[in-house]
Amino acid sequence: MTTAIDFRRDSQLLKAAPGMYRHKGDAFPGLYLNVGKRRSTWYLKARVNGKTKSVKLGVFPIMTAAQALKQASKETAHHGNETTAAIRKVSDAWREYVADALANERASEKHLTDMERKLERYASDILDKSPTQVSLLDVRRCLNAIPSVSTRHHVKAGINNAYSMLDIPTPIQRGKIKLKQVGSRDTFWKVLCDSDETIDRRDWSPMWEAIMAVKNPLRRIAWVVMLFTGIRADDVRSLRWDQVDLQRKTIRLPKLKNGEDRTLPICETVVRALLSIRGGGSEQVFPASSQTGYLDHLDVLRHPAIIRDSGRTDKNGEPIMEGAPVLRQHDARHHFTSACGPARIPSYAVAFLRGDITSKDTDDDMAMHYQEDLAIEDLVADIENVILLRIKQTPDFELELSD
């Protein structure tokens, strides 16, 4: 039996005996409070599509009657559509978005796979929740825990994309979550050099030593390719051998953001690095057993001989010292670009070689129009020479996959 009481008076709710209660009046339609011996729970009971549904909303007094009513309106909107009602988790909505985006060619499979990987890594708790149960606070905590600014933007966009398939609004309210602009961070190497005047910022040998210290040969060579080409980390890690022509010394990047392919020349160092891992039998240059089939995010590289305070303490309160971070994935693009300056590479050629899509089509057109006069292969060699001077050695890639 259901008893009618005033949901607007918390004192009545707190003193209510065990049982089921509804509001005395019509201010809280479909809202019920189940009072138990240990806790009280809000429920929505309503007829949706000809069927009576009972949906758990939250626990009183953590959730007030007003909050429960607001939650009930979201549940009603969600379950009122037979199609969206089948979506029980945010992950279901994301899969609907992926299928729709692929069917309508609004995003590439590679882009969607990368975004899904980031969602699964950083927003798994949100993916496992019902779309109606995700709050702005859930999203804020999720995004603030992501160290990479660009990844925060990708995860935020992924969550919004999932909610675009539903009849309820996204929990990311406009203006409530503001993220730093992508590209606002200094490289780890600049931060380190700014903090220590004894370090020569043009001496990249510590960065190179950190790369060569990577035990996994595939990850090691991925870093080499990123540094000597300036290509985005995602494009490098997802490379297939059918994109690489080691005889012609080129890498082809398919389906850039403008929908076009681009074939880029690569230097001798990259050719020799790739030859050292050729013959593994995989279609992927950097294969892995992950869902994507290629290497996941490459971890930040630290130099073991440059020791710095980590900012953390051990169980005894003593500061934890560790190798200073010297290189992250996106930093490699910055360092490649900085090597283009001494090599006197025109800005439009730099954008072309990095695989950038600029706001003006003229940059790509200029690079293609003047390709013969520029002798882009020679430009790549000039950039390579600058990098070799800075790492202070000519790399030797006699590596084995069994390392």
- What is the length of the chain? 403
In the chain, count of helices (H) and strands (E)? 18, 10
Q: C-alpha angle 387/392/394, rounded to 5°?
A: 80
Q: What angle do CA 273, 274, 278 make, to 5 degrees?
A: 130
**Is 334:341 a contact under the CB 8 Å cutoff?**
no
Tens-digit pLDDT profile for residues 296-328: 888 899 987 777 665 666 677 766 667 889 999
Q: Given pLDDT bands bounded at 50, 70 and 90, which one contains residue 230?
A: very high
CA nearest to 134, candidates 179, 82, 85, 91: 91
Task: Taking residues 191-196, report their average pLDDT.
Answer: 89
**CATH assignment of 2-80, among 3.40.50.620, 1.25.40.10, 3.30.160.390, 3.40.50.300:** 3.30.160.390
Whether residue 254 is preceded by a cis peptide bond, meaning omega within 30 degrees of 0, is no
Residue whose tokens read 């960065």? 207
**What element of type H or E holds 192?**
helix 188-195
The mean of the pLDDT values for the chain is 83
Token pair recorded at residue 91: 């992950």
CATH class of 188-391: mainly alpha
Complete edge-to-edge strand list for the sheet that includes strand 2-5: 2-5, 19-23, 31-35, 40-48, 51-60
pLDDT in tens, 116-174: 989 999 999 999 998 888 888 899 899 988 887 778 888 999 999 998 888 778 888 76
d(CA 386, CA 338): 10
Q: CA separation (Å) from 319 to 195, 304, 322?
A: 19, 17, 10
Q: Which amino acid is at 211?
A: I
- Give the pairing of strands 19-23 and 2-5: parallel
Q: b/e string for 160-182 if b means 16 or more Cβ within 10 A?
A: ebbbebbbbebbbeeeeeeeeee
Domain ranges of the chain: 2-80, 90-163, 188-391
